[in-house]
């Protein structure tokens, strides 16, 4: 009896679809899994089927799924994701590829949506607009050999994952350097959960800048906020009430910067006279803030465009090597920062 793909999958301990993708040299499969599957193929004497000439055509991309981070509300209100989706949609329209947005209020609900799409067979690949540690969705995509692209830095299998990212560590350092060069020496940091890798890298860049400028790293100067509705606002209020409060903040997201502005207003602190703020993303919120926010523009529209191009290219040509694209950032100066003299 001829050896089947299911026999190989059983021996290798993977799904049949994973074996199929290894046979097609899909870059989404880790090197370890590829080696395991090929050893099983050799042991069983499995022979790859030879396609007839008329079957050896470029795969047609039908649809891709755009995956938002699990969230009750914040992800749907953040213009970073809207601009990235617009970039993805533009490329999909140009290349005649359909797209769908996948959401979920938590990890498990999001995973169920991914599983439903996978079983439907209507999606050729997934674009994840986030990257975090211990992600159920990434584990599922890897386990089933599904093609995906991450906007951000992969937490695992970095060498085997197609990703589009900024240099967030460098951006965090440059944002802190900007405040230092304005004379600030008591600089705080407000960021999202460190489980999200962009926030962790921006915080690491902030800490690196403090280290290089020989400034003390005070744990109380760093506030981690899950959302603009976070209970951690109480920690921020206590910090602003302290006699040696920071004179400036690096904030990892424009929406969190708006929360900081609101708390400062409630406490009678003026921006930028009492507190300077440099935020990230340069979204519409940065321009609508009062005063308008100096911000690090991460070019989310281009992040989306690059992600769409990469996933379509990899579907059409499974033999493409795994790639990482770094999108440049830039500081946009507005009115939320000013030069600081300690005598103030």
Q: In the beta sheet, which residues pair with residue 325?
A: 164
pLDDT of residue 215: 97
Reported as a single tens digit per residue, the pLDDT across 254-273 is: 989 999 999 999 999 999 99
CA dist list (Å): 212 to 174, 184, 205, 251? 12, 14, 11, 20
Query: Given a cut of 80, is residue 121 above it in pLDDT?
Result: yes
The pLDDT of residue 49: 61
pLDDT confidence bin for 58, thresholds 50/70/90: very low
pLDDT of 86 higher than 90:
yes
Domain assignments of the chain as residue spans, ordered by start: 5-52, 61-165+300-325, 168-298
Least confident of 26-30, 150-154, 188-192: 26-30
- pLDDT of 130 reads 92
> Is the domain covering 168-298 a CATH 1.20.120.80 domain?
no
CATH of domain 61-165+300-325: 3.40.50.2300
- Asked if residue 43 lies in contact with residue 11, where contact means CB atoms within 8 angstroms, the answer is yes
Q: Lowest mean pLDDT: which of 150-154, 156-160, 281-285, 325-329?
A: 156-160
When pLDDT is cut at 50, 70 and 90, the band that residue 29 belongs to is: confident
pLDDT at 53: 43
pLDDT band at 16 (very low <50, low <70, confident <90, very high): low
For 226, list phi and psi in degrees, rounded to 5.
-70, -35
CA distance 186 to 24: 55
- pTM higher than 0.75, yes or no? yes
The rounded percent of the chain whose pLDDT value lies above 90 is: 61
Q: Do domains 61-165+300-325 and 168-298 have the same CATH topology?
A: yes
* 233-241 helix and 254-266 helix, angle to the nearest 10 degrees: 50
- For residue range 280-309, list pLDDT tens digits in order: 999 998 999 989 999 999 999 999 999 999
% residues pLDDT > 70 (the chain):
91
| Stronger pLDDT, 341 or 48, i.e. the higher one | 341
Q: What is the mean pLDDT of residues 188-214?
A: 93
Average pLDDT value over all residues in the chain: 88
Q: What is the pLDDT of residues 230-257, one digit of tens each?
A: 566 888 999 999 999 999 999 999 989 9
* pLDDT number for residue 231: 63
DSSP H/E element including 300: helix 300-316
- Range of lowest pLDDT (174-183, 187-196, 280-289, 300-309): 187-196
E strand intervals along the chain: 63-67, 98-102, 125-128, 148-151, 162-165, 187-191, 222-224, 248-251, 276-280, 294-297, 324-326, 330-332
Q: What is the pLDDT of residues 159-172, one digit of tens each?
A: 778 999 999 999 99
From 93-102, 120-129, 181-190, 314-323, the region with the lowest mean pLDDT:
314-323
Helix axes 197-212, 168-181, angle to 10 degrees: 40
Residue 100 has pLDDT above 90, yes or no: yes
More confident residue, 223 or 1: 223
3.40.50.150, 1.10.260.40, 1.20.120.330, 2.160.10.10: CATH of 5-52: 1.10.260.40
Are the beta carbons of 85 and 101 closer than 8 angstroms? yes
CA distance 15 to 58: 24
């Amino acid at each position: 009896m001829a050896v089947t793909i299911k026999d190989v999958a059983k021996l290798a301990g993977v799904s049949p679809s994973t074996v199929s993708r290894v046979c097609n040299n899909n870059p989404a499969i880790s090197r370890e899994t590829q080696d395991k599957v090929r050893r099983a193929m050799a042991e069983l004497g499995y022979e790859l089927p030879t396609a007839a000439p008329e079957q050896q055509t470029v795969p047609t991309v039908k649809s891709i799924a755009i995956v938002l981070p699990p969230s009750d509300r914040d992800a749907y209100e953040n213009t970073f994701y809207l601009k990235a989706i617009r970039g993805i949609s533009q490329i999909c329209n140009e290349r005649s590829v359909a797209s769908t947005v996948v959401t979920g209020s938590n990890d498990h609900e999001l995973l169920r949506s991914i599983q439903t799409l996978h079983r439907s067979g209507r999606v050729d690949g997934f674009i994840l607009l986030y990257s975090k540690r211990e992600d159920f969705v990434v584990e599922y995509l890897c386990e089933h050999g599904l093609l995906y692209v991450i906007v951000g830095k992969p937490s695992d299998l970095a060498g085997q994952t197609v990703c589009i990212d900024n240099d967030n560590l460098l951006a965090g350092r440059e944002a802190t350097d900007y405040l230092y060069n304005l004379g600030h020496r008591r600089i705080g940091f407000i960021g999202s959960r460190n489980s999200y890798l962009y926030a962790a890298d921006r915080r690491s860049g902030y800490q690196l800048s403090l280290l290089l400028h020989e400034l003390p790293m005070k744990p109380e100067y760093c506030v981690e906020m899950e959302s603009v509705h976070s209970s951690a606002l109480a920690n921020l209020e206590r910090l602003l009430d302290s006699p040696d409060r920071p004179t400036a903040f690096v904030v990892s997201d424009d929406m969190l910067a708006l929360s900081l502005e609101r708390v400062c207003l409630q406490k009678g602190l003026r921006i930028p006279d009492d507190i300077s703020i440099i935020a990230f993303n340069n979204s519409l919120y940065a321009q609508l803030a009062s005063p308008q926010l100096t911000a690090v523009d991460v070019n989310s529209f281009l992040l989306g465009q690059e992600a769409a191009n990469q996933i379509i290219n990899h579907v059409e040509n499974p033999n493409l090597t795994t790639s990482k694209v770094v999108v440049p950032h830039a500081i946009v100066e507005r009115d939320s920062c000013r030069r600081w003299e300690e005598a103030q």
